[in-house]
Chain A
Amino acid sequence: MQELVLNQPVSAARSELVREAQADARREFEERLAECGPLAFRVARGVLRNTADAEDVAQEALLRAYKSFDRLRDRNRFRAWLVRISFRLALDRLRSAKRREQRDTLWAKPAHQPAPITAEDVAASNQFQAHLDRALEELPEKLRLVLLLSAMDGYTIEEIASMMGVPLGTVKSRIFIARKKLAEKLRCHANTIKMR
C-alpha cells in the first residue's frame, strides 16, 4: 500500500516529462516543417514531374522524418536528411509507376489517345522535354540530386555542399559532369554540333 502511494507521483512525474519532451519535439519539427516542406516537395517534383504525386511523396517523407526525428542526433542535418528521404521515395514511386505503366501497356488497350498536336513547335518542345526527362532519369543519383538542388532557387552551391555533406569542389564537378552528360544525350535531338 505504501509502495503504491510512493510510486504514483513518480510515474506521474515521468509521464509528465515524456509529454513535455514530446511537445518539444513536435514544436521543433513544426518549426522546421514550414522551411523544409517546400524543399521536400520540390525534390519530389523534380524527380516525378507530377504535382499530385510529388505532394504525396513530400507528405510521406515528412511523416517518416517526424517518426524518426528522435534518432537524428545532429538536428542541423535535418534538411539533408529530408532531401534524401524525399529523393529516395520519389525514385521508388517513379519506378513503381513505370512498372505499372508497362503492365498497363502490355495487358490493356489504351484508354485514350494523346492529345492531338496543334503546332510543330509545341511538338518539338514536348519531344525535347521527353528526351530531357529520360536523360535525367539515366543520370547517376548523386549527379541528379545535385543538379536538381542547384536548379532550385534560393540554394547556393555552398548550401548544397553543406546539405549534401560533400566539399564545394565536389558539388561543382558534379554539376559540370551532369550538365555535360545531359548535353551529350540531347545534342542530337537539338541538332547542334556535328562532326566535320
Chain B
Amino acid sequence: MPCEHYKDALMELAASGAAPQGQLAVHIAECASCREAFNIEQSLFADIDSRLQVAANAEVPASLLPRVRVALSQVPAPRFNWVRPVVLVSASLVLAFAILLIGRPRRTSPESVARQGSFGPATTTPTTTTNPEKSPLEGVQVAAHAAHSHAARNSTNLHVAASSNPEVLVPPDEREAFARLVAVLNERSDVAAALVAKAPQKDAVVTADPLRIPGIEIKPLEGTETESSDGAGDKR
C-alpha cells in the first residue's frame, strides 16, 4: 500500500502516463510499497489502454463500403433545396419594404393641418394672462418664440397645406367672435387702422432697459413713537 501522502500524486502520475520526477521520483526509488503501487497503477492503465485500442481499431469488414455504395445507389441524390433561399430572399424583401415605409416622411391631411393651425394662438394666450407678475414684454417674447418653434415644427405641414389650398375649419365660437370684431371694425375706423398698421417683427427679441428707480428717501412717520409705545396702533 502506498504512503497516504503520495497516493494521489502516484495516481495522477500514472493517469498522465509521464515518468516520475523530482521528489516523487526520489520517494518511489526509496519506498518499496509506493513503487509497487505505482507499477500496479501503471499496469492498470496499460490494460485499459490496450483494451480500448483493441475495441477502437477493430478490423473494418470488407463488406461495409460495397454495402453502403449499393444503399447509396438506391437513394435519390441529394437535391439542392430551393425553398430556403427563396424564403430568405422574400423575407429580406419584405423587411426592406417595411423599413422603406417606416422611414418615409408622413403626409398629414389638410384637415389636421388646419386644426393644428387653429390651436397655435391658444398656446400663447395663457402665457401672457396667467402670469400677471411678469412683464408684458416677457410674455410677448415667449409667445414669439413659441410661434416660431411651432412654425418650424410644422414647416412641412404648412407647406403641404399651402400647396393644396385646404379648407380652413373654424370653430363656431371663434367664428362668432370674428364676426363681432368685423362689426366693431366697421364702427371704429381707428381700431381698424391700428390693426392694419405694420406690427413689430415677431422674431426679433425685444429688449428693455433695466428699470431705474431713483433713490427713495424714507421719512419717519409722525407720531409713530407714541402709537408703538402703548401698542394702540396695532390694535387699531
CA distance A7 to B53 in the complex (A): 61
What chain B residues lie within 8 Å of A58 (beta carbons)? Answer: 64, 68
Q: Does B122 contact A (CB under 8 A)?
A: no
CA distance A165 to B60 in the complex (A): 26
Asked if residues B44 and A70 are in contact (CB atoms below 8 Å), the reply is no
Q: Does B47 contact A (CB under 8 A)?
A: yes
Interface of B, secondary structure class, is helix
Closest CB-CB distance, B14 to chain A, in whole Å?
8
Mark interface residues in A129-152 (1 if CB within 8 Å of B CB, else 0): 100100000000000000111011
Query: From A69, which residue of chain B is reached at the shortest CB distance?
Result: B78
Asked if residues B64 and A37 are in contact (CB atoms below 8 Å), the reply is yes
**Contacts A38-B60, A176-B16, A196-B3 given; does A183 touch B78 at CB 8 Å:** no
Closest CB-CB distance, B195 to chain A, in whole Å?
76
Asked if residues B56 and A180 are in contact (CB atoms below 8 Å), the reply is no
Q: Does B41 contact A (CB under 8 A)?
A: yes
**Within residues 1 to 56 of chain B, which ones have a CB less than 8 A from any CB in chain A?**
1-4, 7, 10-12, 14-16, 37, 40-41, 43-45, 47-49, 51-53, 55-56
Q: Does B65 contact A (CB under 8 A)?
A: yes
CA distance A38 to B61 in the complex (A): 9
Closest CB-CB distance, B221 to chain A, in whole Å?
98
Asked if residues A196 and B4 are in contact (CB atoms below 8 Å), the reply is yes
Q: Does A99 contact B (CB under 8 A)?
A: no
Asked if residues A22 and B78 are in contact (CB atoms below 8 Å), the reply is yes
Asked if residues B48 and A59 are in contact (CB atoms below 8 Å), the reply is no
CA distance A26 to B74 in the complex (A): 12
**Contacts A45-B58, A63-B71 given; does A196 touch B45 at CB 8 Å:** no
**Contacts A67-B75, A70-B80 given; does A41 touch B64 at CB 8 Å:** yes
Q: Please tell me which one of the listed residues A23, A55, A70, A152 contacts residue B56 in the complex, with CB atoms under 8 A apart.
A: A152
Asked if residues A192 and B69 are in contact (CB atoms below 8 Å), the reply is no
Query: From A41, which residue of chain B is reached at the shortest CB distance?
Result: B60
Asked if residues B71 and A59 are in contact (CB atoms below 8 Å), the reply is yes
**Within residues 168 to 196 of chain A, which ones have a CB less than 8 A from any CB in chain B?**
176, 179-180, 182-183, 186-187, 190, 192-196
Query: From B65, which residue of chain A is reached at the shortest CB distance?
Result: A37
Asked if residues B68 and A33 are in contact (CB atoms below 8 Å), the reply is yes
Asked if residues B79 and A46 are in contact (CB atoms below 8 Å), the reply is no
Closest CB-CB distance, B17 to chain A, in whole Å?
8
Q: Does B81 contact A (CB under 8 A)?
A: yes
What chain A residues lie within 8 Å of B63 (beta carbons)? Answer: 55
What chain A residues lie within 8 Å of B15 (beta carbons)? Answer: 176, 179-180, 183
Q: Does B163 contact A (CB under 8 A)?
A: no
Asked if residues B60 and A37 are in contact (CB atoms below 8 Å), the reply is yes
CA distance A182 to B41 in the complex (A): 12
CA distance A23 to B51 in the complex (A): 42
Q: Does A104 contact B (CB under 8 A)?
A: no
Q: Does B57 contact A (CB under 8 A)?
A: yes
Q: Does B77 contact A (CB under 8 A)?
A: yes
Q: Does A160 contact B (CB under 8 A)?
A: no
**Contacts A59-B67, A63-B71 given; does A192 touch B60 at CB 8 Å:** no
CA distance A180 to B44 in the complex (A): 11
Q: Which 3 A-B pairs have the closest CB atoms?
A: A22-B77, A151-B56, A151-B52
Identify 4 new A-B residue pairs, CB closer than 8 A, beyond the known A41-B60, A63-B72, A192-B43.
Answer: A45-B58, A132-B51, A183-B11, A183-B44
